[in-house]
Amino acid sequence: MRQVTATVISNAEVMPQVHLLWLEAPGMAAAARPGQFVMARCGTGHDPLLRRPLSVHRVDGGQRLALLVGVAGRGTGWLSYRRKGDVVDLLGPLGNGFSIRTAARSLLLVAGGIGVAPLVFLAEEALRSGRAVSLVVGARSASGLYPRSLLPSGASVVEVTEDGSEGLRGMAVDHIDGCVGRAEQVFACGPATMYRSMAGKECLTGEPVQISLETMMGCGLGACYGCATRTRTGMRMVCHDGPVFELDDVIW
Ligand SMILES: Cc1cc2nc3c(=O)[nH]c(=O)nc-3n(C[C@H](O)[C@H](O)[C@H](O)COP(=O)(O)OP(=O)(O)OC[C@H]3O[C@@H](n4cnc5c(N)ncnc54)[C@H](O)[C@@H]3O)c2cc1C
């Protein structure tokens, strides 16, 4: 883990209120693994006091790192206004990250909304290692879908929108049944409601499913206990013991 003053290379609004920020972050980019996150200082002084957690969205060449920032409030709003040459103080990479089983050759990735952020990095790594990747991406409507042109080529993509304005209608989880049989490992990132419906799905019973919990957190370092979550093996801190957990290990 390191603290880096990262320089913004580019900032593009890729979906309404969602910004793709590329940053020069040598050292950190080289060390990051899919599913890990950074704590970003979202201001120049001490307000807001707490850093905000953001998944490592992509890396490029060990020097550059991308964040996918959905504007939720003050912190992410501040980040969305950063321009080329601005600096952002980052702490990371933090957390355990996803772990692909050596024997798993075919993966299913399920993304709900901004949950696509860590899964793009995972898809890129998996494809690079010769694995097959199916990616089911869900959003409220067409404008909220991550641009297809930015998705790693080679992944088989299923788009799902709640209102049916693009791709299949419904929630991402409604459309995974056909893909689960072909996958040797399943990964997901999205809201807690998505995980709850996954936990109740018959086709996932007994399947190895890793999820990334995007719980609100204070310090990101395991010191404040703000992100404690209940699991079958006791209370765990999302920042320190996660954010990646086995789906059936979490008590919903
Ligand atoms: C491990 C991890 C990885 C994350 N990765 C990403 C990412 O890649 N891209 C991204 O856009 N966001 C990500 N998030 C969520 C992001 O951290 C929050 O949206 C952000 O902290 C909100 O800060 P803010 O100052 O903009 O909003 P605030 O002003 O702090 O809050 C605005 C609203 O958002 C709600 N909120 C705050 N934090 C969260 C949260 N974690 N989950 C749900 N609601 C929240 C608040 O209750 C409030 O209603 C991640 C969270 C975690 C824990």
DSSP letters along 83-98, please? -TT-EEEEEEEES---
Residue nearest (by alpha carbon) to ligand 1 atom 32 = 73
Ligand 1: which atom is nearest the Cα of residue 70? 11
Number of H helices, E strands in the chain: 6, 16
pLDDT of the residue at 198:
93
pLDDT of the residue at 192:
94
pLDDT of the residue at 61:
85
pLDDT of the residue at 45:
83
Residue nearest (by alpha carbon) to ligand 1 atom 34 = 72
User: Interior CA angle at 181 toward 131 and 210, to 5°?
Assistant: 65
Residue nearest (by alpha carbon) to ligand 1 atom 7 = 54
Distance 54 CA to ligand 1 centre (A): 8
Best of 94, 193, 214, 221 for a ligand 1 pocket test (most atoms within 8 Å of beta carbon): 214
Segment 166-187, tens digit of pLDDT: 999 999 999 998 777 888 999 9
User: Does ligand 1 have an atom closer than 6 angstroms to the CB of 37?
Assistant: yes
pLDDT of the residue at 177:
84
d(CA 237, CA 217): 9
User: Could you give the C-alpha distances from 16 to 111, 133, 190, 194, in angstroms and in order?
Assistant: 17, 27, 18, 22
102: helix, strand or coil: coil
Report, as ranges of residue numbers, the positions in the chain whose pLDDT lies below 70: none
The segment(s) of the chain belonging to CATH 2.40.30.10 are: 2-94
Segment 15-53, tens digit of pLDDT: 999 999 999 999 999 999 999 999 999 998 888 999 999
Q: Which fold has domain 2-94?
A: Elongation Factor Tu (Ef-tu); domain 3 (2.40.30)
Q: Which fold has domain 106-212?
A: Rossmann fold (3.40.50)
Residue nearest (by alpha carbon) to ligand 1 atom 5 = 54
Distance 182 CA to ligand 1 centre (A): 33
Ligand 1: which atom is nearest the Cα of residue 42? 25
pLDDT of the residue at 202:
87
pLDDT of the residue at 67:
98
The segment(s) of the chain belonging to CATH 3.40.50.80 are: 106-212
CA atoms within 13 A on the CB side of 188: 29
User: Does ligand 1 have an atom closer than 6 angstroms to the CB of 117?
Assistant: yes
Ligand 1: which atom is nearest the Cα of residue 217? 53
Q: Tell which phi-psi region holds residue 243, choosing left (phi > 0), alpha (psi between -120 and 50) or beta.
A: alpha
Ligand 1: which atom is nearest the Cα of residue 239? 1
User: Does ligand 1 have an atom closer than 6 angstroms to the CB of 68?
Assistant: yes
pLDDT of the residue at 101:
96
Q: Are 163 and 171 in contact (CB under 8 A)?
A: no
Ligand 1: which atom is nearest the Cα of residue 74? 25
pLDDT of the residue at 228:
95
